Amino acid sequence: MTVMLLIPLSLVLGVAQPPSFVPEWLLFWRPQWILLALVFWVLHIGYFRGALFRMFFTLGRSDEGTIFRRAMAIVWLSGFVVDGLMLEPLGLNGAIFAAVTFYLLRYQDRLALQTPVQRMILIFFMVFFAEVFRALVLNLLLGQPWVLQPLTVAVTSMLVWPIYERFSSRPLSSIRTP
């Protein structure tokens, strides 16, 4: 249920416009809400056991490899929806989401031992490299100029992560496995 709310909320936060009195430069500091939702979802994938999750990820086979592969396919396809939302070249967000998901699932045991500060540093680099890749593609294909946006977005995403995780984890605490 958390994810059912978290994903639409992140999409809305990702495109919402601030009120007119907010200076325009502040838009460059908007956190990468959609990527944060993806990271949160992948990091907590072991806790989801709802009907929807079973239908997509554990139907037929429920081993970790199957969940891994199905998660990769679903986040890649979800990237197209975000491409449509953000009006970006098709496949761009799919590539970013698939790369992030692969890393998080491949090293999930190691990442589970991270302290909150280490997790924030991870978020910083993950968002930074994702945004640099996005800026590179948009620069090569659409001539979008290079600005400091990858850095600013990574900084704000890193700073909001603890609050975001705390807020999003609350409904999960009741269903956590021991």
Partner 1 sequence: MLTASFALVTIDGSIPRVDKVPASWVPNTLQSALTSIRSGLLNLTSPVYVVAQAPYQMSEALADITDDRQSLLRQRGDLQAQLLLLQQQQQRFNYLQQENMRLRQLLGSKAQLPSQVTIAEIVGVSPNPLRAELLVDKGHENGISQGQAVVDAQGVFGQVVHVAAARSWVLLITDRDHALPVRNSRTGVRMILGGTGGPEALVLEDLPASTDILAGDLIETSGLGGRFPVGYPVGVVDALGDAQDTPYLSATVKPSAALSKVGHVLIIADGGVKPMPTQDAPGLGAQINSRPEGH
Binding site for partner 1 (CB under 8 A): 8, 11-12, 14-17, 19-20, 24, 27-28, 30, 72-73, 76, 79-81, 83-87, 89-92, 94-95, 98-99, 137, 140-145, 147, 149
CA count, 13 A, side-chain hemisphere, 84: 5
Report angle CA 166, 155, 98 to the nearest 5 degrees: 75
Shortest approach of partner 1 to residue 88 CB, angstroms? 8
User: Nearest approach, Cβ of 39 to partner 1 (angstroms)?
Assistant: 18
Minimum distance of partner 1 from residue 116's CB (angstroms)? 28
What is the total residue count of the chain? 178
Between 47 and 56, name the residue whose CB sits nearer to partner 1: 56
Q: How far is CA 129 from CA 41, 75, 116, 157, in A?
A: 19, 18, 20, 13
Are the CB atoms for 3 and 52 separated by under 8 Å? no
Cβ nearer to partner 1, comparing 24 with 63: 24
Q: Which is nearer to partner 1, 17 or 177 (CB)?
A: 17
CB of 24 to partner 1, least distance (A): 7
- Nearest-CA neighbor of 129 among 107, 158, 105? 158
- What are the tokens at 112? 């589970």
Rounded distance, CA 101 to CA 70, Å? 11
Query: Residue 170 Cβ, how far from partner 1 at the closest point, in Å?
Result: 23
Measured from the CB atom, the residue of 59 and 73 that comes closer to partner 1 is 73
